[in-house]
Amino acid sequence: MKKVLFTLISSFFLGNLVLQAQVTISGGTTAAGSYTTLSAAVSALNAGGALTAPVVIGINGGYTENLTSTLVVNVSGTAANPLTFQKSGSGANPLIAAPVGTVTLSSTSTTLDGIWAFNGSDYVTIDGIDLIDNNTMTAGANNSMPTFMEYGYGFFKASATDGCNNNTIKNCTITMNRINAIAGLTFSGSSLNGSNGIVFLPNARTAVSTAITPTSIDGASSNNKIYSNTVQNCNQAITIYGFAAATPFTLADTNNDVGGNSSSTGNTILNYGGQTTNYFVAAASYAVGYTFVTANGGVYRVSTAGTSGTAAPTSTATTAITATGGTAVYYYLYAPGPANAVNVNNQYNLNVSYNTITSNQGFTTVRGINLGTAVSASSTVSNNTITVKSSSVSSTVEGITNSSGSTAASNTVNINNNTITVNQGLAMSTTGTFTAAASGAVYGVWNNAATPATLNINNNTYTNWTIAGATSAVYVTYNTGAQTVACNINNNAINGMSFSSVSSMPFYGLYVSTASATEAISISNNTFQSIGYTGGTQTGAVYLIYGIGTAASYTISSNSLIGSLTLPSSGSVYLIYNSQSSPLVTVTNNNLTGTGINRTGASGTFYATTTLVLHLGEQRPSLEILFPM
């Protein structure tokens, strides 16, 4: 009987242990075994020393853990002995919930709040492990913003010879909190703003404001892959900042890849940027003269400040002012930083492709893909589907922005085969309604003064644009950098643009604003279709094709308008504007009048083709211009 009872009791306790074991470590580490939490498993892994064979950390499907502090991995895999974190068995991906943060992000922060960090880790794969930041804050109340995470997965350098290389993050869903949009630290001119889903940073985790200068190739962070993830509800989804290496750039981040080479490896980035409401932080003094309104479920500052002081601002929102211990506490609205789906700098041979990107209706600068400075770098941005939206009063909306590749060195920047949609709504007025005119510029693809040897902006589709604000300008494709070899803007389709405000906004379809004496420029085989103005008479000029600068050769060929075009514009209209004196200019086989151009504006000049110098072989398109009766 005693033996039977002992057996039953033993079975009970063993069963309990099996039920409680949620994480299993197997392979070449002294930490091999079963653990009840991921935190315990990571702690044992860190204490287990260098890996002697491949190691797999399996986390049961459906497992959830609420962290009390950031998970920090201090060990590294190798090519022979990689380290893998993955879901084990069936069920939902394991879900790791953020701890409560303690850092208020600023330009001088030395640490960041995060969910899961890796220090100098190489050959790590994270497969199917979800992260979430469930921390909350009250709109319109006293907030110091420390509770939210700045990153979900974070990769940091351990030293000048120990970066993060050959890592893969795939099949994960990372949900942050876009309330955290504070403009923060700056890395080589690029800022880390608010909450980020995945970050690779060039500094140490415990000293993020202090730069680390790599002294070996291993000190870079290269060959990392971010595939098939969903990153959502953040301010910036994927952020990769590297060291500003000198030529020959052997110490630079190289071959990092966001999205791979097919739709099966592309990431989905959703609902980033654009707070649902505005949030206030307590301050001892206040810039008087602000007006607040309560609207759309939140409290908003809607007027410009007057003289700084300690007097309470005029406010119609009682939650904007409180008193603590008899002392008035006034709140200021913190300034959010720009929102980016993919934001990088100092990256070489970078690939950002096959990603699906959809922003929230942002109240600040909203970008889809932003390539920051990288001297003489090559990069590829292709086959992305991007939808960016904004309701900011004065900030820009940008589909793809490139500042990478200057100081040409036989390098190429490819921005090809992307589909870009822009929605610029009305901004918030002083009554709290979305009726104010927005004044920020709108860009589809913007090569922002970068001067790679060759720039290709080809086979992109710009579709379903809706512009409700009185913006400063709309640039569908805009190149403000002079290339040394070639600039190709070919086979792009501008199809479906609606402008519903009355403004002096100029419209530029394909715009090259500068050139070098050695480059060949081609603007060819592009199409324009379904461009509509519904907001009344515009006063801004309209340019379908605008090319200036003295290049070695300039070809504007076989561009066409499909269907008709109605322009209620009193500004000048240019189908082709070519103001330069290149040695060879070819303007031929263009049909930019389609089936007819209906000009309903009362003034302004209409130009089919305008050039400073006409050359043999130049052909002006035939015109059919319908003036209002």
What's the mean pLDDT in 378-385?
98
Q: Where are the domains of the chain?
A: 2-97, 280-333
What's the mean pLDDT in 434-439?
64
CB 344 within 8 A of CB 369: no
Lowest mean pLDDT among 281-285, 333-337, 392-396, 410-414: 281-285
Phi, psi of 17 (to 5 degrees): -65, -40
pLDDT tier at 601 (50, 70, 90 boundaries)?
Answer: low
* pLDDT > 90: percent of the chain: 57
pLDDT at 248 over 50: yes
Determine the Cα–Cα distance for residues 407 and 376; give it in Å rounded to an integer: 5
CB 379 within 8 A of CB 409: no
Residue 75 is predicted with a pLDDT of 97
pLDDT at 121 over 60: yes
Residue 109 is predicted with a pLDDT of 81
DSSP state of 217: G
Residue 436 is predicted with a pLDDT of 60
Amino acid residing at 503? S
DSSP state of 278: B
Lowest mean pLDDT among 23-32, 204-213, 425-434, 610-619: 610-619
- 316-344 burial: b if 16+ Cβ within 10 Å, else e: ebebbbeeeeeeebbbbbbebbbbbbbbb
Lowest mean pLDDT among 17-26, 97-106, 262-271, 340-349: 17-26
pLDDT digit string, tens, across residues 137-193: 754 444 456 788 999 999 999 999 999 999 999 999 999 998 787 777 777 667 788
CB 198 within 8 A of CB 151: yes
Q: What is the mean pLDDT of the chain?
A: 82
Structure-token pair, residue 100:
């409560």
pLDDT at 619 over 80: no
Q: What is the model's pTM? A: 0.88
Residue 446 is predicted with a pLDDT of 98
What's the mean pLDDT in 465-476?
84
> Please, what is the Cα angle at 381 between 221 and 243, to 5 degrees?
25
pLDDT at 327 over 90: no
pLDDT at 542 over 80: yes
Determine the Cα–Cα distance for residues 603 and 572; give it in Å rounded to an integer: 8
Residue 138 is predicted with a pLDDT of 52
Closest CA to 120 of 178, 163, 150: 163
Evaluate the CA torsion angle 231, 465, 507, 560 in order and state its sign. positive
pLDDT tier at 299 (50, 70, 90 boundaries)?
Answer: very low
What's the mean pLDDT in 11-30?
72
Determine the Cα–Cα distance for residues 301 and 317; give it in Å rounded to an integer: 9
The better pLDDT of the pair 153, 295 is held by: 153
Residue 538 is predicted with a pLDDT of 74
CB 194 within 8 A of CB 337: yes
pLDDT at 414 over 70: yes
CA–CA distances in Å: residue 397 to residues 124, 401, 416, 535: 36, 10, 19, 20
Which stretch of DSSP H or E encloses residue 17? helix 2-20
pLDDT digit string, tens, across residues 303-324: 444 333 333 333 333 333 333 3
C-alpha of 468 from chain center: 23
CB 83 within 8 A of CB 55: yes
pLDDT tier at 582 (50, 70, 90 boundaries)?
Answer: low
Closest CA to 508 of 605, 576, 580, 414: 576
Residue 617 is predicted with a pLDDT of 35
Determine the Cα–Cα distance for residues 228 and 354; give it in Å rounded to an integer: 10
What's the mean pLDDT in 64-91?
97
pLDDT at 465 over 70: yes
What's the mean pLDDT in 432-439?
60
Give the N- to C-terminal CA distance of the chain in Å, as an integer: 108
Determine the Cα–Cα distance for residues 606 and 596; give it in Å rounded to an integer: 14
Residue 274 is predicted with a pLDDT of 66
Phi, psi of 33 (to 5 degrees): 150, -170
pLDDT digit string, tens, across residues 548-566: 888 999 999 999 999 888 7
CB 210 within 8 A of CB 202: no
Say how many C-beta atoms besides its own lie within 10 A of residue 141's C-beta: 14
